[in-house]
Amino acid sequence: MIDKLGSRPQPKVEKQDSPRPLPQPTSKPQTADKPQLSKNVALASHQGASSFEVRSFKEGPTPSPGPTPTPTPSATPTLPPTASSTPAPTQAGGPPVPTPQPGPTPTPPPPPSPEEQAASQVSSAQASLDTAREGVKEADEVLKGQLARLGPALTDAQKQEYIKAYHEEHKDVYEAEAQAATELRTALEDPALAQNTEALKEGYTALAESSEAQAALDWASRSYTQPGSPLHQDAALAEIAGKAAATASTDIIAQAGTPQEGVALLREKLAPFMEGKEVAGSIQELKEAFDIAEEAANGNYDRLASLAEDWSGQSDLMKSIAVIGVAAGVASATNAFREGNYAEAIGALAETGQNGLELLAGVTKSLAQSGKLVEMLGSHAAKAERLAGLASRFAPALGAAAASASLYQHATEDDKNAGTWLAMGGDLLSIAGSVLEATPLAPVGGIINAAGTVLTAVGDLVSGIINRGERQQEEKDLMAAANEALARQGLPTIPQDVIDAVSSQDSRADRLQALGLTPEQVQQVIHDYPDVISYGGYFESLTDTARAADVSPENFNRFLDALSEEFGDTPNAMSVLNEVQNSHKLQGSTPSEVDQAMREYIEAVMPEVADFR
């Protein structure tokens, strides 16, 4: 029965001294306990029982915890000793990650020794010299291209002033090479290098072909003869001395009072190598070569050509003596009689083919280096004047040799490599340091001079290095600068019409030079016919016809006058000649057949051509 409050009547509980333990609940399914649990909860709530009591009422008293069993410890693993007591970090779920610890501090390398420092300086200076030489080579290529175009219309004096103006314009390039050579010489003189023979030999080999070649020659001679030196009697020094003597020969001869004194000084410097048992080549041949050089210094050039014999098989020492002989001949050609003989000797030397041309190239390289040295030193006026004399005499002699018919015959039939040396002359040679070059049109390979430099083609092969417009303006500016210098000396200047004509991109003044016209005659042609040399292939047909008809250089202007009268004007005459020439070429005629046809044609339409031979 439920009372008004909805509670069941509670049974009467007798008071006891201590509570009886409640019966333990039996394990029953949860669903079976729910009604009884609800009743117990309701009853407890009504009586104000706590939640703990409710739980106790249902579950009985919480058993007291017994003693926690202590696990038997296993053997503790032994860990490797750590370098630090810092606890290692851990990763979740993984073993501790060891902290990287710094290793032992490395021992710094010892500082370089004085010898190593000195060798490093030499290596750096040599690299600078190589870089500077590349700059000079590029500048010289541009200059050669300009001179090949302008040279035929400029006198020797005009060309020399043009080249000096060019070197002044690009002074920084040429000064860099001279400065680099001086720095290399200074680095090589460090006493710490005394025992580093390889660094010394490598460095002085580079110096031997520079404006400091005399220093290389002196060092090689001194080291070779010094007892106790690590390089005493070292045969490699003979090669260095040979290259250095060839490079410095014209400079040494120019400094000497006479050509004979210059040759004697060079013989003294090379004497130790001519007596050493380790030197390659016959000692007798070396002495014979110096005898020829002494003869040339005295004005006897009869045996100069023999210096080029078996050139490729000769030692550097022998080649250097040959260069000395030719250079001595230049210095001794002090009057018209000797200049004529020397020109013939150079012609005979050139006719020996590539060997002779390489020998001539060695001389021009020496002149070039000497010229640069004079220019850099500046104040050595007397020395510069002597060197100017060498260059001015050498250039016409080469020009005479190049123009010889026998050289042309030899070049075109026997040695294709030499064929294009016809235009060398003095066009690319001056005190300021220009370099005489060849034009190897046939793809047989470059001509190599005594120093191993490949001679590149004369011609406008490098005109593309700079913009054409800039090139033409530079040429005009340099010719104007040359004219200022010429005027100060009271020498003939370059006419303005010549400047305008030869600086044209299509200028072919070289075609007139090939016919044998002097620069003065070329200038006269340009003055009378300002545009004629700029007609490209048409002008070539005109000059081919003149050559086929044997028109002499002196009568070339008369030949042009007659053509203009016969065909109405010169451009029309060139057009007709070009058409006739091409018609024969298209028929498959050989070059000689085309020449014969042009000769017959011009003789038929203009019989007076016979008067121009």
CA 458 to each of CA 140, 143, 464: distance values in angstroms, whole numbers, following the listed order: 11, 10, 14
455 phi and psi angles, rounded to 5 deg: -80, 125
pLDDT band of residue 281 (cuts 50, 70, 90) is: low
- pTM for the model stands at 0.61
Please check whether residue 6 lies inside any domain of the structure.
no
Q: Evaluate if residue 185 carries a pLDDT over 90.
A: yes
In residues, how long is the chain?
Answer: 613
Q: Which amino acid is at 301?
A: Y
In terms of domains, do 310 and 162 share one?
yes
Give residues with Cβ within 8 angstroms of 605, minimum separation 6: 566
Please check whether residue 485 lies inside any domain of the structure.
no
Alpha carbon distance 408, 426 (integer Å): 17
Alpha carbon distance 429, 361 (integer Å): 11
Give the CA-trace dihedral at 288, 292, 293, 299, to 10 degrees: 160
Please check whether residue 85 lies inside any domain of the structure.
no
**Mean pLDDT across the stretch 311-339?**
72
Q: Which domain holds residue 343?
A: 116-462
In terms of domains, do 160 and 235 share one?
yes
In terms of domains, do 450 and 513 share one?
no
Q: Specify which of 122-126, 251-255, 335-339, 387-391 reaches the highest per-range mean pLDDT.
A: 122-126
**Mean pLDDT across the stretch 322-336?**
72
Last residue of a domain, one of 462, 478, 510: 462
In terms of domains, do 160 and 271 share one?
yes
In terms of domains, do 302 and 426 share one?
yes
Using CB atoms within 10 Å of the CB of residue 41, give its burial: 0 to 12 exposed, 13 to 18 middle, 19+ buried.
Answer: middle
Instruction: Single out the residue of 424, 420, 412, 422 nearest to residue 439, CA to CA.
Output: 420
In terms of domains, do 357 and 231 share one?
yes
Q: Evaluate if residue 494 carries a pLDDT over 70.
A: yes
In terms of domains, do 152 and 283 share one?
yes
In terms of domains, do 440 and 338 share one?
yes
Please check whether residue 420 lies inside any domain of the structure.
yes
Q: Evaluate if residue 90 carries a pLDDT over 60.
A: no
pLDDT band of residue 54 (cuts 50, 70, 90) is: very low
Quick check: 274 and 283 in contact, CB under 8 A? Answer: yes
Alpha carbon distance 587, 605 (integer Å): 22
Answer with the residue of higher pLDDT: 531 or 485.
485
Please check whether residue 486 lies inside any domain of the structure.
no
Quick check: 198 and 123 in contact, CB under 8 A? Answer: no
**Range from 229-238, 408-417, 473-482 carrying the lowest mean pLDDT:** 408-417
**Mean pLDDT across the stretch 396-422?**
34
Answer with the residue of higher pLDDT: 372 or 246.
246
Q: Evaluate if residue 278 carries a pLDDT over 70.
A: no
**Range from 102-106, 113-117, 180-184, 508-512 carrying the lowest mean pLDDT:** 102-106
In terms of domains, do 314 and 364 share one?
yes
Please check whether residue 476 lies inside any domain of the structure.
no
Q: Evaluate if residue 237 carries a pLDDT over 70.
A: yes
Count of domains forming the chain: 2
In terms of domains, do 397 and 536 share one?
no
The pLDDT of residue 355 is 65
Answer with the residue of higher pLDDT: 484 or 209.
484
Q: Evaluate if residue 94 carries a pLDDT over 50.
A: yes
Give the pLDDT confidence of 538-577 residue by residue, as tens digits. 889 999 999 999 999 999 999 999 999 999 998 999 999 9
pLDDT band of residue 21 (cuts 50, 70, 90) is: low
Quick check: 42 and 58 in contact, CB under 8 A? Answer: no
In terms of domains, do 234 and 366 share one?
yes
In terms of domains, do 333 and 225 share one?
yes
Please check whether residue 488 lies inside any domain of the structure.
no
Answer with the residue of higher pLDDT: 425 or 234.
234
Please check whether residue 102 lies inside any domain of the structure.
no
